[in-house]
Amino acid sequence: MDLGLSGRTALVTGATGGIGREVARAFVAEGATVALGYRNDREGAERLARELKDAFAVRYALDDADSAAEAVAAVRERRGGTDVFVANAFSWGRRRAPGTRFEDVAPDEWGPVVGHNLAPVVRATQLVLPQMRERGWGRIAFVSSHNAFDGQRGQEFYGTVKAGLYGLARSLAWDVGQDGVLVNVVAPGLTLTERVRTGLPEEIRERERSRTPTGRLSTPQEVARTLLFLCSAANGNVTGENVTVAGGR
């Protein structure tokens, strides 16, 4: 199947993370050029760019108000614009201390989590849209989480951000759909990235596996393939949707 991505340019944020790397690899494999958005790991992004060959690194830091504009401008200068935008980056900020009640979390703790993870995505989306509209073709995907819809104790602020991405996609789809731009959300469950494999206790992984009809956790490659389809020409009319990649949970 021709996914229609040859010659296209994709901006993938959080590209040095477990899911982001596989998304970049998937797009390059289909003939796209990928701008690898990174926050601090410039070396890792440049190493990945050398591996993929048809890729280059651009700084995209959620906690830097100018970063989105600079990243989009860098892509425009090098490639003429962005055809596909995958918003995968997430800035955790300070974690909620165990045993802390929701009402005890100070605004200076939860404020950056919400502000740094929603506003920059909105701004970056605004910046990539004009050329997509002009060309009559574009694909946007926000990486959310099944926690936004299932809920989880202690994940209130994370869930707020991830659910907000769906609200953004659902309404934005109405604004851009007739211009050939499709906007969707992919919501992974716990995914077997290297960080999860090595840093998360086995009992937690087993608990999450037991809650899925398939009896296993998704791989980063499976999440990437879902994003690849939604952001390709093979997707002709799916927009404003949330696709959960969590083994049926």
- Has residue 204 been placed in a domain? yes
Is-catalytic flag, 60? no
Q: 90 in a domain, yes or no? A: yes
pLDDT at 176: 98
Residue in 38, 60, 158, 166 annotated catalytic: 158
Residue 221 falls inside a structural domain: yes
Q: Is the entire prediction scored with pTM above 0.85?
A: yes
Does residue 20 lie within any of the structural domains? yes
With respect to residue 201, please indicate whether it lies within any of the assigned structural domains. Answer: yes
Examine residue 223 and state whether it is found in any structural domain, yes or no. Answer: yes
Q: Residue 43: which CATH number?
A: 3.40.50.720
Distance of alpha carbon 211 from alpha carbon 119, whole angstroms: 33
In a domain, 3, yes or no: no
Residue 114: inside a domain: yes
Structural domain of residue 226, as residue ranges?
Answer: 9-245
Query: 199-215 pLDDT, tens per residue?
Result: 778 878 888 887 888 98
Instruction: Give the per-residue pLDDT at 95.
Output: 67
Token digits of residue 72: 């989009």
Q: What is the mean pLDDT of the chain?
A: 91
pLDDT digits 0-9 by tens, 96-125: 677 788 888 888 888 888 888 899 999 999
Q: Give the chain's domain count.
A: 1
Residues of the chain with pLDDT under 70: 93-96, 192
